[in-house]
Structure 1
Amino acid sequence: MTSTLPDAYAADILNLRGGYFVFWLPDVSPLDPPRLLLGTYSSDGNTFQKLVQQDFVVADNDRAGLWLLDPNTLNPSLDDGTVYHYWFQLGGVTVTDPFAFTVDYGVGGMADPKARTESLQPAAVIKFRGGQLWPCDVDGNGPALPTLSSTTLAANNHMVIYELPTSWAKGGTDADGDMNVDVGTFADVQALFDSNARGRNFASIHTVGAGAILQELGVNALELLPAADAKPRGAWGYATAHYFAPDFDLGTASELVELVSTIQGQGVRFFADVVMAFGHDSYGTLTDNGTAAIFHINPTAEPDNPDSYQGHTMGGQLRDGFGGQSWRYIKTVAGTAYDPESGQTVTDGVHPSWVFHKSHLTRWMSDFGVGGLRLDSINNIGNWDFVKAYKEKAWDLYNSRTTEGTVDPSKFLVIGEELSLPIAMLKQGCLDALWNENWLQRVRAVLLGESWGGDDFEWTVRRLVDCREDVLDGGSFTDGTQAINYITSHDIEGYRKNRLYNFCLDNGISDSNDIARRARLAFALLLTSVGVPMIFAGEEFADQEDQSVNMAYKQTDPVNYERKDDGGWRQALFAYVANLVQLRTTCPALGVNDTNVFHVDASRGGKIMAWQRAGASTTPVVVVANFSDDDTPGTEYNVPNWPDQGVPGWREVTQNRDVPPGWIGREPLFAWEAKVYTYWRP
């Protein structure tokens, strides 16, 4: 049974939920009190038996806006050990508990994903036991807590993130002949790390059943696209509706805990992707006396409110709810108010949306062992003060993990996705790192032998291999852990952002050998450059888009893991990437910032370059890359000024071979080839 007893959370409102049904309505005086609707479903899930319909009671005068209902006072009384389904009612509207830990779409005719609408309000699930309310899965089982141990987890400077859209993790068609892209589950992701785990829907995939793909790849951080519950199925997960509950279609809280425990046992950190620019939550559905407006804003209706605009400043582009409602971040409940975080009565007001989001952060950090965060669409959140407060709360929660005595600050990171790269957010402490969209644009350019961003080719490569050389608005990155580099992301919307395989096709590169060369070069750059490398699921074997042919839209293709073991160039590419991932996660030289470009071949238009990664006390890694269609002529290519050339033991990593002393700095290069050398040994 889960250990979510009173005082288990660093948020008073979550601790209250052990002893009460809790409904929080700050700054609202409803015409009628909120009401609990509670009952049970028949064994087939079709018939709901309404047992209780009872009003909440105001907590007390000092906690205005807080409504409580003791489960021991319900009539009829609850049965010990029974699982109940419930909703809240206000002003004639029935909604899901905004703080629900579990929601159930499997009852009441909601099982068909095509029947789910924006207004659908699934029941929350709770278990009554020993006079208290216990979070549980839909089957009544209480999830355990993951064992948290940072001893083997990766530090930020040696991390390789795997960005996985859980719901896209298998292809196929449904009964209607439509492409089914939402069949991956937490159990299936576990099967990618554990060869003994068959998963729920992956048993038929040979590559999954034959081994543990992601354990073999060697990544040490897993970022799941939003795992909090969203109503749509067959989508990305970015339409978050129930922020405290794992997504019903992906699996139970117990299955998520098992996944996290599995990967942490392998030294892999779990990153949670969080959507806070907009929501599809219950508060946005309530209308009694303006409840929705306390938490949400309609930007077009408030043009004079700076909260209506993107990018932290008044004016410019309005925030976009993308079918949901933009969260209101400037709104403050003024004066004396109950603070759901501390449980105290405060005199300077509270920020309702701030409290709500910091509360679900507390839930995920406490119950699912989150080892890092990726905050979606920072500019569309619009409020840097909130982002900073959220990041600081995350760090407070991380630092409270004292089971081992000392918490390692190098093993937690809060990342923001804002493609304009507002470096000021790092300088002001709002975030620890940013997605480095410039890296994607540069690598796509150099794979075609082109320059980018107004630079010549040499400086395009220099800024690619060392993110600190990039000139951004307001400054530059100062450390590699501030930049998340990627060849591809889940967002293919826009010019040259599709999967690498399709990018090659779009640019006239159709021969599989030529695509394989470009892919190997791209990964050699990604895994040896300054910055935190992120691999989008499937790129490690050059998966391709079978449906996403219009780059004006988001990607819709599931990851086709069958392609990983094709017996040909894709299988070889996977092995190549896994080899470099092992180097990136272990070699000291790739964990420091120091980079020295020591060779630019002017005779070939600067299209052959060599650089060194090493600190003052680290054994160097040297990369030599040929960004051209031509092999170097003859049997050797001389690279002058090679560091430590006379030191024995050099090896070429990508081919796993030792290099004879006389050939250091003299080996030829094929077209579009990078060679990676070091005399460091693991």
Structure 2
Amino acid sequence: MYPVDLLNLRHEHFVLWVPGSGPSFTPPELVIGTLDQQTTTFSQLGQFPLTPWEGKTDLWHLDANSISPPLSNNAIYHYWFQVGDTSPEKRPGPILFTDPLTFTVDYRVTRGPSDAAQPAAVIKFRDGKLWACDINGSDSARAVVPDQAALPSNNHIVIYELPVSWAKSGNDSRGVDVDVGTFKDVIALFDEAQPGKNFATVAAVRDEAILSDLGINALELMPVADARAKGEWGYATAHYFATDYDLGSSSDLVRLVDEIHSQNIRLFTDVVMAFGHDSYRYIDFHPFHIRPTMEPDNADSYQSHANHQIRDGFGGESWRYIPTVQSYDPESGKDNVQVHPSWAFHRSHLARWMTDFGVGGLRLDSVNNIGNYDFVRSYKERAWELYNARYGKSADPSKFLVIGEELSMPVSMVRQGVLNALWNEPWQARLRAAVLGNPLSDQESFEWNIRKLANTTLDDRGDTNFTDGAQAINYITSHDIEGWQGQKERLYNFLKRNNIWDVEQRAKLAFALLLTSVGIPMIFAGEEFADQMDRSVDLSKKQSDPVNYERKNEGWRRDLFNYVANLVKFRTKCPALGDDDTDFIHVDTSRGGKIMAWSRGGQDVLPVVVVANFSDEDTPGSEYVVSNWPGRNEPGWREVSQGRDVPSEWVGREPLLQWEAKIYTRWRE
């Protein structure tokens, strides 16, 4: 059972919700048959009309037990709905389209217009009912509810942002072959006993557990709902209830989720709701979608931030969020009530992912391009309702999070409760200026760049600022590489572009800052070993360059990985790094403020002290004194990045190499 009435009705009926369709709507039909698994030949069983469901306005249905000849017990069926095209182009005649609620699609057999080929939806018939299944007929599984007590809280998570476009050595012009890392390959990153699938020939994937070794405790899978794009990751979501065909089945994803939950790692999913490549763009266009350029006087045509910028569908169709219709409500099951069609659709697939895959956090893509903060708030609140229902009265609010990507950074959205957190893109700009030894701008000193970098709550965004580190997602690199002169590309390429050749040293400094600063750290896949861009050359596009895990064990990259892994594990466990309290204890004005020290942690925890040298010169002599060192005379100080104890006589006096950060604490696990 699901907390969505329409999903439960699908257990016995083929259903199609067409809100606002009216009396002139041509009744849809079900086209159903079987697929030979060996030859992938489709054999049509028949074509059957759906009828209006009495007492459920705009809902069409067909009882699975009324089909003649009868469906066979334990048989797998492939099907489409035949409807008239309602898009602005309005192709003549009825066309076959994928069930917008299907949990499984099969691209081995498609129908429909050549520019919108529709994969078959897949279902199993057993004991008089319809059952969600994988394309091989296995019943779709459901992830085990994770032990809440063992999961990390928001202020102690390190998120790993993982696209599914990976690479391995090959024969193309740049020496790499691009393939898709499946759910089975992702499992191999966490379990050394699992070889993976498409990347089983890559030793680092086959023989190691890279992400378990790295120590991250939150995995953000970039969109894993099925997308039209083949052979790459992307934001072209087409089938919101189905796992991506390239990546694997629902059961494969459940196995991955159960594996990471067994290691106390939370799952975050990336959701695209500004635009879609879904079936409703043809089945029922106007209640669900809008062409902004065709409706310039409609507020739904514009993005939510300044300058009256029109929404961009990026090849898909922008979702329509403002209007309501008098219809059946697919969530509650009530009839003849006011419903936002797009709201109901997206909140329904949220229930599917939260219920079946134990989602522990969400990242909402392109919130400004969604263009409707009321919907975003509603979606966030529904996510929290589903999370709280998972654990009842014992639900811990520190172990769930809804993050938005809105690069104009309206922090007021967080303060007003529209979202829980935002991607903190300005932090990336500050970090990259710092590792070059520069201030962020001529209007701000180098010292204040570092202060705001170490404590993002100091960074006033104009209307407001973050009040809690769990509101800000900090990162060195993300999949968003668009930017002036490569300012956002992979760190390796950024440093090379700026004539920095000691990539390892600067990368270590960058990670020391990321993993000790106020905010939730996020690592883009491959940055932990300074992966580099092989194919991406168009910096106006997203990161399409694949992750090359073969590089992980190359010389200095292995050393960098081990350095980052050490700090990741420290970040996820040290109490002081879960506090926002930050005290700047040292600024060396004799060196232009390029050597600074600060302490993290409140009064009730043992502090963490960071000392960083942002200059091209080692500190002179055998010692460098930080005079305001907290608890200098207390025993047990150790330097974390090198994993060594510090003799009492050297506390607060150790020298620094150029571009080096040292991290000290008396806390021990």
Aligning the two structures, in what range does the TM-score lie when normalised by the shorter sequence?
over 0.9
Contact 1:487–1:500 under 8 Å retained in 2: yes
CA distance in 1, matches of 2:504, 2:383: 40
Task: Report the equivalent of 1:165.
Answer: 163
228-237 or 540-549: which moved more? 228-237
Contact 1:46–1:109 under 8 Å retained in 2: no
Task: Report the equivalent of 1:49.
Answer: 43
What pairs with 1:562-601 in structure 2 (closer than 5 Å)?
A: 562-566=550-554, 568-601=555-588
- The correspondence for 1:87, drawn from 77, 80, 87, is 80
What pairs with 1:235-274 in structure 2 (closer than 5 Å)?
A: 235-274=232-271
CA distance in 1, matches of 2:387, 2:139: 24
CA distance in 1, matches of 2:114, 2:267: 31
Alignment partner of 1:37: what SS? strand
What pairs with 1:124-135 in structure 2 (closer than 5 Å)?
A: 124-135=121-132
Q: 1:206 Cα shift? A: 1.0
CA distance in 2, matches of 1:164, 1:312: 28
Q: 1:75 Cα shift? A: 1.2
CA distance in 2, matches of 1:231, 1:155: 35
CA distance in 1, matches of 2:374, 2:64: 38
Q: 1:651 Cα shift? A: 0.3
- The correspondence for 1:59, drawn from 41, 53, 74, is 53
Query: For residues 508-540 of structure 1, what are the alpha-carbon distances to aligned partners after superposition, in whole Å with 9 as ceiling and x for unaligned?
Result: 112xxx111100000000000000000000000
Q: 1:183 Cα shift? A: 1.9
Task: Report the equivalent of 1:3.
Answer: none
CA distance in 1, matches of 2:498, 2:305: 38
CA distance in 2, matches of 1:246, 1:651: 46
Query: For residues 562-600 of structure 1, what are the alpha-carbon distances to aligned partners after superposition, in whole Å with 9 as ceiling and x for unaligned?
Result: 11111x211000000000001100000000110011111
Alignment partner of 2:376: what SS? helix
Task: Report the equivalent of 1:468.
Answer: 457
Q: Which amino acid aligns with 1:65?
A: D
Contact 2:231–2:246 under 8 Å retained in 1: no
Task: Report the equivalent of 2:100.
Answer: 98
Contact 2:222–2:233 under 8 Å retained in 1: yes
CA distance in 2, matches of 1:647, 1:208: 44
Contact 1:118–1:280 under 8 Å retained in 2: no
CA distance in 2, matches of 1:292, 1:175: 42
Query: For residues 324-371 of structure 1, what are the alpha-carbon distances to aligned partners after superposition, in whole Å with 9 as ceiling and x for unaligned?
Result: 0000000211x4x21111001254x10000000000000000001111
Task: Report the equivalent of 1:344.
Answer: 334
Q: 1:638 to 1:179 in 2, by over 3 A?
A: closer
Q: 1:375 Cα shift? A: 0.3
> What runs of 5+ residues in structure 1 fail to find an aligned partner?
1-7, 111-115
What pairs with 1:359-508 in structure 2 (closer than 5 Å)?
A: 359-402=348-391, 406-453=394-441, 454-495=443-484, 496-508=487-499
CA distance in 1, matches of 2:174, 2:136: 31
**TM-score normalised by the chain length of structure 1:** 0.94
Q: Which amino acid aligns with 2:386?
A: L
Task: Report the equivalent of 1:218.
Answer: 215
**TM-score normalised by the chain length of structure 2:** 0.96
Q: Does 1:276 align with 2:273?
A: yes
Contact 1:46–1:108 under 8 Å retained in 2: no
Q: What percentage of aligned pairs have identical amino acids?
A: 59
Q: 1:464 Cα shift? A: 0.5
Q: 1:234 Cα shift? A: 3.3
CA distance in 1, matches of 2:39, 2:15: 26
Task: Report the equivalent of 1:635.
Answer: 622
CA distance in 1, matches of 2:83, 2:505: 61
Q: 1:599 to 1:176 in 2, by over 3 A?
A: closer
- Matched pairs, number: 655
Q: 1:33 to 1:173 in 2, by over 3 A?
A: farther
Structure with more strand by fraction:
2
Alignment partner of 2:118: what SS? coil
Q: 1:550 Cα shift? A: 3.1
Q: Which amino acid aligns with 1:441?
A: A
Provide the alpha-carbon RMSD of the alignment.
Answer: 1.7
CA distance in 2, matches of 1:520, 1:384: 38
Alignment partner of 1:181: what SS? strand
Q: Does 1:154 align with 2:143?
A: no
Query: For residues 187-237 of structure 1, what are the alpha-carbon distances to aligned partners after superposition, in whole Å with 9 as ceiling and x for unaligned?
Result: 000000001111111211111222100000000000011000011113332
- The correspondence for 2:27, drawn from 29, 33, 53, is 33
CA distance in 1, matches of 2:515, 2:5: 43
- The correspondence for 2:599, drawn from 604, 612, 629, is 612
> What runs of 5+ residues in structure 2 fail to find an aligned partner?
85-93
Task: Report the equivalent of 1:531.
Answer: 519
Q: Does 1:23 align with 2:13?
A: no
Q: Which amino acid aligns with 1:543?
A: D
Q: 1:378 Cα shift? A: 0.4
Query: For residues 43-89 of structure 1, what are the alpha-carbon distances to aligned partners after superposition, in whole Å with 9 as ceiling and x for unaligned?
Result: 334421111211111111x3210111100000111001000000001
Q: Which amino acid aligns with 2:9?
A: L
CA distance in 2, matches of 1:307, 1:278: 12
CA distance in 2, matches of 1:173, 1:386: 45
